[in-house]
Structure 1
Amino acid sequence: MKNSVRISILSAHLIASTALFAAPSAFAQEQPKPNPLAETPDSGTMKRADKEDMVLVLKKMQELGAKPIESRSVEEARTQPSPADAVKAVLKDEGKMVPMPAVKKQDMTYPIEGGTQPVRIYTPENAGPGPLPVIVYYHGGGWVIANIDTYESSALALASKAKAIVVSVEYRHAPEAKFPAAHADSFAAYKWALEKTASFGGDPARVAVAGESAGGNLAANVAIMARDQKVQMPVHMLLVYPVTGTDMNTPSYIANQNAMPLSKGGMGWFVGKVLAKPEDAMNPMLNLTTKADLKGLPPATIITAEIDPLMSDGVMLAEKLKAAGVTTTYMNNEGVTHEFFGMDAVLDDARRAQDFAVNDLTKAFDKK
């Protein structure tokens, strides 16, 4: 069985792999082929996911009826079983309850242009005297699907393990609100959190950002916008399998083109719903590794999964951040897939990755 790989300096073979990258393709790909994994549970991802706990979740997704995103309408994709649903079903099969850390929840809203968006405050109950550090967290879902409920396990884990208040942010989704609506909302939420942190027991001087997948892209962009607009910078960035570029011909996109729960075709489907116009694909917000200025950003922790089209995105961003003088640690997790990070209730690798992330966050908080 493979072990999780923890490194702060990327290994030579990963660095070398960046040389294989094609020029950014502006998400203009051939028509994606149907993902065969929904019909063949013993193929592809199942064979490579050599962790028994990971395979259980993938099989359960299929049993629940989840289909490849690229084969669904937006409404179908938003309502079909998610990886979080699969985790709950695995626990039920094992006669176990969904773990509930000692964390208090409070639903609020923050203002955006023309309205408000939800935000959920997670406060650990056994963290000791405050004020507590704060993590502004952005969920994944390709800027199209999912919400703060879908990704609640990650928010709960970070709050409980980091002894920090987690501000889990909802933002407008495409196709109803196309790029850069989610990015604008994310920065508005960050500024709101800085302003309101003290009111819910947080320390305004110790605010970090975190995100998964599309949310990892949002978190990184929030730090960039804070730097450029001279707003207080986050003390740390936790970026879990982030979307960092528009090249869908990277080594991991090729190796994992039919992976589940995220495939190359699935990413193409998301992008087709997100972009307002073709030239948006070349925007630095979507091309962190090729077009964005990464100098002067806070320290970063990047976590990836081996069986994930976005693995190379994380590798490239780690290298680009380090080249820009940003302190960066990187952890790849072998034998697991996209979305594994929030599966700590059933996945050993998720617990290890969370501990890795929390260690870096705690160090950043302790420095302030």
Structure 2
Amino acid sequence: MSSPRPPVTLRATRSVLRGLARLPAPVIRAVAGRPRRVDGYTLRGDVQAALRLLEVSPGSDAAELTPEQWRAEMETEAWLFGHRPHVASVRDAAVPGPGGDIPVRVYNPRPDRPAPGVVVYFHGGGFVSGSLDTVDPVCRFLARYSGCVVVSVDYRLAPEHAFPCAVEDAVAAFRHVRDHLGDYAAPDAPVAVMGDSAGGNLAAVVCHRTVEDEAGGPDLQVLLTPVVDWSRKARSYTLFAQGYYLTEATMDWYSHHYLREPEQAGHPDASPLLARHLGGLPPAYVLVAAFDVLRDEGLAYAARLEEAGVPVTLRVDEDGTHGDINAMGLSRASRDLVIEVSEAVRDLLVRR
């Protein structure tokens, strides 16, 4: 679970970024430049300043790199931007999957008392990158502020394991936790599925795939800036094609590596927004970022869930971009957002 000490240059870069975040607001605004306003939303100054720095950094766009290079970049960014609070118990384990054992990391904030629930978490990274380490900061915050046991899932990645391998691993991991709940919490504890970006896609698909299981599907789905439709590009793709961290070119690159055939974009296991029926799915918490290519499809999915009678809590991160939840080491606003989401997960599971 521990990584080698980063080189001096990376440690210096992190110091600069975190120092920037602590500057007075007028100074941050001067660095950020003229405020960006779109659809009535204004991008937060610290986010805009960080984006300006990323724009001049080499290797900041996946479309310019190989999968191996982008995975290394994601690990670096997680170290640069993340913050890792203490959690009482963190252990690595594995659960059985269709392609062999699936690595998981289990976070238990209070081993001495019953948890209000278990959260099965799927990391982001476009199905090509991401790992237990890249999502470690978010899972630590989630465990600490929700009080839940968190099971982070290291599903197989494309292009080595293209669609539907990630889906099959995600479904298998959820079913294992559900069927062995006593290994993680009380046997009757509620179970949520949760994920960011690509992980939000997997959390949504797990709900579809298990809704008719005899043992039942998840009790809650938490979708953070999810990708839910590979078949078309909504208006937000045009608005935020570049310059807002996740670019249109990166999404095209992810799609190229994840989907073996273009026709797979229309499969509901890839694009849950295209599923014919959404009735009977568990209550949903959906987070979308105002400045994100995925914003409009996330809003559309929340609307379809509501139309199907699914209780939905919609949260719009009005001044943030895709990946805002991963910048806790740089931004107080990002930390507050993750804490808010974590507390909402706890409350929704208890309320169920």
CA distance in 2, matches of 1:56, 1:43: 8
2:117 corresponds to 1:157: no
- The alpha carbon displacement at 1:168 in A equals 0.3
CA distance in 2, matches of 1:114, 1:138: 17
Tell me which residue corresponds to 1:241: 225
Q: What does residue range 17-96 of structure 1 map to in structure 2 within 5 Å? A: 47=36, 50-59=43-52, 61=54, 65-80=58-73, 82-87=76-81
Q: What does residue range 184-199 of structure 1 map to in structure 2 within 5 Å? A: 184-199=168-183
Cα distance change of structure 1 residues 103 and 57 upon mapping to structure 2, 3 Å threshold: farther
- The alpha carbon displacement at 1:153 in A equals 1.3
Tell me which residue corresponds to 1:111: 96
The answer on whether the counterparts of 1:57 and 1:87 sit within 8 Å (CA) in structure 2 is: no
Cα distance change of structure 1 residues 103 and 66 upon mapping to structure 2, 3 Å threshold: farther
CA distance in 1, matches of 2:289, 2:123: 17
2:85 corresponds to 1:100: yes
Tell me which residue corresponds to 1:261: 245
Aligned AA (2:66): S
- The alpha carbon displacement at 1:292 in A equals 4.1
CA distance in 1, matches of 2:347, 2:90: 25
SS of residue in 1 equivalent to 2:59: coil
Q: What does residue range 1-368 of structure 1 map to in structure 2 within 5 Å? A: 47=36, 50-59=43-52, 61=54, 65-80=58-73, 82-87=76-81, 98-125=83-110, 129-368=113-352
The answer on whether the counterparts of 1:303 and 1:330 sit within 8 Å (CA) in structure 2 is: yes
TM-score by length of 1: 0.79
Deviation digits for residues 261-307 of structure 1 (CA, Å, limit 9, x no counterpart): 21111111000001122221110122222334211011100001111
- The alpha carbon displacement at 1:228 in A equals 3.0
The answer on whether the counterparts of 2:145 and 2:343 sit within 8 Å (CA) in structure 1 is: no
State the number of aligned residues.
Answer: 317
Aligned AA (2:254): F
The answer on whether the counterparts of 2:32 and 2:48 sit within 8 Å (CA) in structure 1 is: no
The answer on whether the counterparts of 1:248 and 1:264 sit within 8 Å (CA) in structure 2 is: no
CA distance in 2, matches of 1:293, 1:352: 35
Moved over 6 A (4+): 41-44
Cα distance change of structure 1 residues 52 and 132 upon mapping to structure 2, 3 Å threshold: same
Gaps (5+ residues) in structure 2?
1-30
Aligned AA (2:58): G
Q: Aligned residues: percent identity?
A: 28
Stretch of structure 1 that moved more, 256-265 or 267-276: 256-265
Aligned AA (1:70): A
The answer on whether the counterparts of 1:246 and 1:287 sit within 8 Å (CA) in structure 2 is: yes
CA distance in 2, matches of 1:308, 1:205: 34
CA distance in 1, matches of 2:59, 2:143: 29
SS of residue in 1 equivalent to 2:117: strand
CA distance in 2, matches of 1:223, 1:188: 12
Aligned AA (1:87): F
- The alpha carbon displacement at 1:128 in A equals 5.7
CA distance in 2, matches of 1:119, 1:79: 20
SS of residue in 2 equivalent to 1:112: coil
Cα distance change of structure 1 residues 85 and 359 upon mapping to structure 2, 3 Å threshold: closer
- The alpha carbon displacement at 1:112 in A equals 1.2
Cα distance change of structure 1 residues 294 and 67 upon mapping to structure 2, 3 Å threshold: same
